[in-house]
Structure formats: structure tokens, C-alpha cells
Structure 1
Amino acid sequence: MQLPGTPSDEIADVLATGRGDIGTLFVSMATRHPEGRDAEYLQWHTLDHRLEQHRLSAVRASLRVVSTPACRAARAASNDPYDAIDHVMTYFFTDPGGMEGFLALAKALIEAKRKLPLLPPVERGVYEVQRKAAAPRVKVGADVLPWWPVRGVYLLLERGDLPADALLDVDGVAGVWSAPAMDVDARLASAKAGQTLTYCFLDDDPVVTAERLRPVLTARWEQAHVEPLLAAPFYPLIPHEWDRYVP
């Protein structure tokens, strides 16, 4: 479908009304459930835990994605320990100050026995959003991509920092957000300083788009001083179809 009109990022009067207030990402990366109960975990997290986070005024959006066997086969990079990642949960915060409420809420839910054992973690990180861009064809501005109905996400985790706007030229990539890791309290995160997370918001099948991205990423890593840690497609969780996309 060809949407009408001028892209928002080219309209000064649209941008003047607001640029959104998301500045921080909390990203939790985990392995599959050790007993294969991924669907059960996803059901609990979506119907209970994830919803409760939205009572925090600092939480503006959230997104959970899952790697399937087909996603794994389409990865362009997958180094240890990141190769084990099959689940990624992201909360979009206004600023790092929102983390205090995040921790307090977690404590309260635990005391109320409202928490299942977590999926085995690989890494948690707090990232500062620094660059945003949307493909003109999708019309909506880069600021509102966290609310856009994605068909998938391509996650790029690199050591180093390099603009990723060139990825917008790949069919299926509707927008990109890039954010370097922040130095925060160890209670919150273990992601190392010097690594950058790039979210590619997709409007085509993530596995199909991953194959289009592969040569572009290979050229990126050959020419730039960045080291790929993980470059992988993921499907978004489908509510009430808990076993549709599982590792």
C-alpha cells in the first residue's frame, strides 16, 4: 500500500508539535526456557508482568520479540555469549531516572508472588537513544516508530558506533534507532560500555529481510571499525498465540 502525502520528518509544522520523549531503552536478552516452556512464559509476561510496567509514567512503550529456528539460520553474526539469545524484551523509557520506579515495581510484584522465574539471562542493558530515522515511504516520523505495528525487528549489536541510516535503503526496513550502552548501576544492567544497539523496525517478513540485509552488513563491517556481536531477525510476539513464534 502506498500511503499518501509528505513524510512527517519533512514537515516542520508536524515536528514542532512534539518529538516524543523516549530517550532510554532497557533491553533484556535471554535464552530459551530450559524446559521448553517458552509459550507459558510469554503468556504470563504479556498478560501480567509487561502490562504492569505501563503504570510507570516513565515507560512510554514496550516490545517483545522472539527468535525462531528460521530466524537463527538467517543471522549474519552471532558471537558468544550472544549466540544463545532467543528472547529480547525492550522497554522504552523517557530517561534513566525511570529505572528507580522500575526496580520498586519489580520488588512489589515479587513480594505479591506475581513473578515466574525469569528466562535465563544473557545480558541486560540500558541504552541512550541517539539516532533515529524512518524510511520516507512509511510516512510516519522516526519519533513514533516504537508504536508502529512491526512485522518484525532486526537487531544489530555491535562493539563500536557507526550510523545505520544506510540500512533504510534495504527493502523491508522501515526505520532504525541506534543507542549506545550507558554506564548504570549493576543492579540494572551488565551491557558493556562501547557497544551499540540498533533496532531495525521491519514492514516485511524478518527472515526475508535478513537475507537482503546480509550483504549490506558484510560491507559495513569490512569498511568500518565496528565489530558485530549479534545481527539477527526476530518476530514480534502475537498475543494469545503464545506458541506461534517460539525458539
Structure 2
Amino acid sequence: MLLPGTPSDEVAPVLAEGRGDITTLFVSMATRHPDGSDAEYLRWHTLDHRPEQHRLSAVRASMRIVSTPECRSARAAGSGRYDAIDHVMTYFFTDVGGMEPFLALSKALGDAGRKLPLLPPVERGVYAVNDKTAAARVKVGADVVPWWPSQGIYLLLENRAVPADGLAAVDGVAAVWTATSLPVEPRLASAPAGQALTYCFLDDDPVTVAERLVPHLRDRWQEHGVEPLLAAPFYPVVPHQWDRHVP
């Protein structure tokens, strides 16, 4: 069903009231739980750890996504160690300065006995947000997409940034955000500087949209000569249905 009215990104008075203040992403990519306790981990993280991060003024939004066996089968690329990624956690920050309080809070929670052993990490990165686009049919502006209830995410991790032209026109892709990894201290992150991350926010089933994206991605990689490190659909965690989407 089509939503009424003119899309926000086409209405100057709406945009004049605010364009959002998210500039930075902290992205943690991990493998499945070594003992198969993914659901238990998601329960702890969603009910305990993740809400606490929102006491920080720099944290504006957060999102956790999971790769299921069906998602894994629908991947268009998975290079080397990145193929092991089944969990991705993203925090949306107002600025990179928010990383210090973020680390301090993590230590305080740990000292209070409030942390479980982390999922085996693959890579963590601090990314600068570049471009944001929303499909006109969703009506909400690209700036507010992190709060929009997507059906899932198609995640692109590439060795360098290239234009996201055309991705938001694919059926089922509601919006696209792009970001590039920043050079930071090793204690903050391990992603090499200049690496590119693209979030396709979906309004259709992630596995179904993954099939539609394949020809577009092949053309993209050939045209720009970019190396895909990961191109994969993910489902969002469903609160209180911890085993609904697990690796």
C-alpha cells in the first residue's frame, strides 16, 4: 500500500527543520557463537548491553543484524575472513568523539559483571557517513532511515568507495547509506582506512531482494573495478524471539 503525500526529501520546509546529526558509525562484525549459543547471546545483548549505550548523548541509534543459513546461501560475495561474518552490530554516533565515552561505558559495565564473552570478532571499524538516499515510495527522508522499521539489510563491504547509483531503485531497497572507514587507533577498531560500507535498508524479504541485487552488483564491480569483500543479506533481531534468526 502506497503511503500518502510528498516524500520528505522533496519538501524543503521539512528538511529545513533538521537533517539529522549522525556522522559516524561504529561497526562490529563477528562470527557465530562458538558453542551455538547465538540466541542466548542476542538475548543478553538486546535486553542488557545495547540499551545501556543509549545513555550516551553521542549515540543516536543502533542496529543488530544476523545472517541465517538462507542468507548465507544468497550471498553474492564473501572474501577470505569476511565470509565468516554472521553478526553485525552498528551504533550511529553524532561524532567520532563519542568513542571515548563508549569505551568507558563498556568498561564500567564489565566491572559491574554485566558483560558476556564477546562473539569471536572478525573486524571492527569506525566509519564516516558519506551519502544517504531514500526511495520516494517510503516517504520518510534518508536522514531518518536508522529509525525506520526495515525488514532487513543488504550489506556491502568493499575495498574502496564507489557511487551507490541505482541501488535504491532496485525493488525492495528502500534506502541506501554509504560510509568509509576512518584511520583510528587500534584499540578502537581494526578496519583499514578507506574501506567502504554500504547499507541497503530493505522493505522486502532480505533473501528475495538479494537475488534481485546480484546483476546490479556484478555490473557495479565490473564497471568500477572494485573488490567485494562481503555482499550479503541480513535479518534484524526480533526481540523476544531470539532464535528466529540465527546462523
Q: TM-score, normalised by structure 1?
A: 0.99
Alpha-carbon displacement from aligned partner over 1:9-64 (angstroms, at most 9, x marks no partner): 01111100000000000000000000000000000000000000000000000000
Matched, 1:239 2:219: no
Alpha-carbon displacement from aligned partner over 1:198-225 (angstroms, at most 9, x marks no partner): 0000000000000000010001011113
Residues 160 and 225 of structure 1 are in contact (CA less than 8 Å); yes or no, is this contact kept in structure 2?
no
Alpha-carbon displacement from aligned partner over 1:110-138 (angstroms, at most 9, x marks no partner): 11110000000000000000100000111
Distance 1:194 1:112 in 2: 36
Distance 1:161 1:38 in 2: 32
SS in 2 for 1:130: strand
Structure 2 equivalent of residue 57 of structure 1:
57
Distance 1:194 1:22 in 2: 19
Distance 2:117 2:219 in 1: 41
Structure 2 equivalent of residue 17 of structure 1:
17
Matched, 1:101 2:94: no
Q: Alpha-carbon deviation of 1:193?
A: 1.2
Q: Alpha-carbon deviation of 1:194?
A: 2.1
Structure 1: which 5+ runs fail to align? none
Distance 1:105 1:130 in 2: 27
Structure 2 equivalent of residue 217 of structure 1:
217
Q: What is the correspondence of 1:1-247 to structure 2 with a 5 Å cutoff?
A: 1-247=1-247
Distance 2:225 2:216 in 1: 15
RMSD: 0.5
Residues 65 and 87 of structure 1 are in contact (CA less than 8 Å); yes or no, is this contact kept in structure 2?
yes
Aligned residue pair count: 247
Structure 2: which 5+ runs fail to align? none
**1:124 partner amino acid:** R
Distance 1:42 1:185 in 2: 28
| Stretch of structure 1 that moved more, 185-194 or 212-221 | 185-194
Distance 1:83 1:155 in 2: 12
Distance 1:114 1:165 in 2: 43
Q: Alpha-carbon deviation of 1:185?
A: 1.4
Share of identical aligned residues, percent? 74
SS in 1 for 2:166: helix
Runs of 4+ in 1 over 2 A off after TM superposition: none
SS in 1 for 2:186: coil
| Stretch of structure 1 that moved more, 186-195 or 139-148 | 186-195
**1:13 partner amino acid:** P
**1:34 partner amino acid:** P
**2:176 partner amino acid:** V
Residues 29 and 124 of structure 1 are in contact (CA less than 8 Å); yes or no, is this contact kept in structure 2?
yes
Distance 1:185 1:22 in 2: 21
**1:150 partner amino acid:** S
Distance 2:80 2:61 in 1: 29
Residues 130 and 179 of structure 1 are in contact (CA less than 8 Å); yes or no, is this contact kept in structure 2?
yes
Residues 154 and 206 of structure 1 are in contact (CA less than 8 Å); yes or no, is this contact kept in structure 2?
yes
